[in-house]
Amino acid sequence: MTFNICVLASGSSGNCVYVGTETTRILIDAGLSGRETSARLGALDVELSEINAICVTHEHSDHKASLGIISRNHGIPVYANKGTLDAIETDSRMHGIKWNIFTTGQSFDIGDLTIEPFSVPHDSYEPVGYIVRAGQVKAGIVTDMGMATTLIRERLKDCDVAIIESNHDEELLRASERPWSIKQRIAGRQGHLSNKQAAELISEITGPKLKTVFLAHLSSDCNDQHLAIKEVTDTLKKQDISGVDVKLTYSSRISDLVSL
Ligand SMILES: [Zn+2]
Ligand SMILES: [Zn+2]
């Protein structure tokens, strides 16, 4: 079996992750337009009609923009917890979705993938991160979190690949033109993870299995790709950790495809 994972888009303009084996293909979040989702999947030789399910992390628009249209047009079931479902259903563009409700903390199967949703701190109703397993392979996906809790660190242990938010550089955020209240929200415990916090989290979850980390949800004006990579690689080097490939994700194009 081959386990494929690719970040189709990441950042405040849209988030979408593809995870697939030979027989099961899912998306985590649907923050791109339907057309763009289809085009980026096409680069992986996957058709939207082949997607078996979409799992949603939370109701913010950069994670759900085309959820309604993709689910309706292709009959794709959407998996979410009750808090996220209730928040999404208030949006009229999201009517007609075929929902599957899960309980945060309880795993469920989609084809040959096992999905384990877990709670993360973020300013939405019931936000989750996901562990996705297939055979011996374990992937961790946490894109919006204000802080790395003990639960998050526990869940991300022993991953082969992880997608982790590295939203902002703390200095760039402080110096930015954004209103004080927004800066407080982003830096707060229910906001977004800084490069420094991401680097600490990654060094804590690194084990013999972890080969690839994707840095996700980079802010366009309060971060810089080189700063984000440097923060993480410097922290790993300081702790004598080697063998972890740190990769970027993008808003305008897909990331590298990792096959395990
Ligand atoms: Zn969010
Ligand atoms: Zn987001």
Give the CATH number, domain containing residue 160.
3.60.15.10
Structural domain boundaries, residue 175:
4-254
Digit-coded pLDDT (tens) for 100-122: 999 999 999 999 999 999 999 99
Number of domains in the chain: 1
How high is the pLDDT of residue 103?
A: 98
Q: Ligand 2 center to residue 23 CA distance, Å?
A: 29
Helix (H) or strand (E) holding 27, with range, is strand 25-28
Give the closest ligand to the alpha carbon of residue 218.
2
Nearest-ligand number for the alpha carbon of 14 = 2
Confidence (pLDDT) at 197:
98
Q: How far is the CA of 61 from the centre of ligand 2 (A)?
A: 8
Q: Note the ligand closest to the C-alpha atom of 12.
A: 2
Mean pLDDT of 149-156: 98
- Does a structural domain hold residue 142? yes
> Residue 120: nearest ligand to its CA?
1
Tell me which ligand sits closest to the C-alpha of residue 62: 2
- Centre of ligand 2 to C-alpha 75, Å, is 25
pTM over 0.75: yes
Ligand showing the shortest atom-to-Cα distance for residue 29? 2
Cα-to-centroid distance, 3 and ligand 2 (Å): 25
CA of 31, nearest ligand number: 2
Q: Which percentage of the chain shows pLDDT scores above 90?
A: 99
| Six token digits for residue 69 | 């249209």
Distance (angstroms) between ligand 1 centre and the Cα of 242 equals 31
pLDDT of residue 172: 96
C-alpha–C-alpha distance, residues 156 and 154, integer Å = 6
What distance in Å separates the CA atoms of residue 232 and residue 169, rounded to the nearest whole number?
Answer: 12
Q: Tell me how far the alpha carbon of residue 188 lies from the centroid of ligand 1, in angstroms.
A: 13
Structure tokens at 209: 């299995």
Q: Is residue 230 part of a domain?
A: yes
Between the CA of 240 and the centroid of ligand 2 the distance, in Å, is 32
Q: What is the dihedral of CA 78, 79, 80, 81, to 10 degrees?
A: 140
Q: Does the residue 259 lie in any domain?
A: no
In tens, the pLDDT along 21-44 reads 999 999 999 999 999 999 999 999
Q: How confident is the model at residue 206 (pLDDT cuts 50, 70, 90)?
A: very high
In a domain, 154, yes or no: yes
How many angstroms does the Cα of residue 10 sit away from the middle of ligand 2?
Answer: 8
- For residues 63 and 27, the answer to whether their CB atoms sit within 8 Å is no
Can you spell out the DSSP letters for 132-193?
Answer: EEETTEEEEEE---SS--HHHHHHTTT-SEEEEE--B-HHHHHHSSS-HHHHHHHHSTTS--
Domain assignment present for residue 136? The answer is yes
Residue 260 domain-assigned (yes or no): no
Distance 12 CA to ligand 1 centre (A): 8
**Nearest bound ligand to CA 191?**
1
Q: Which ligand is closest to the CA of 145, given by its number?
A: 1
Ligand 1 centroid from CA 133, angstroms: 24
For residue 122, report the distance from its CA to the centre of ligand 1, in Å.
7
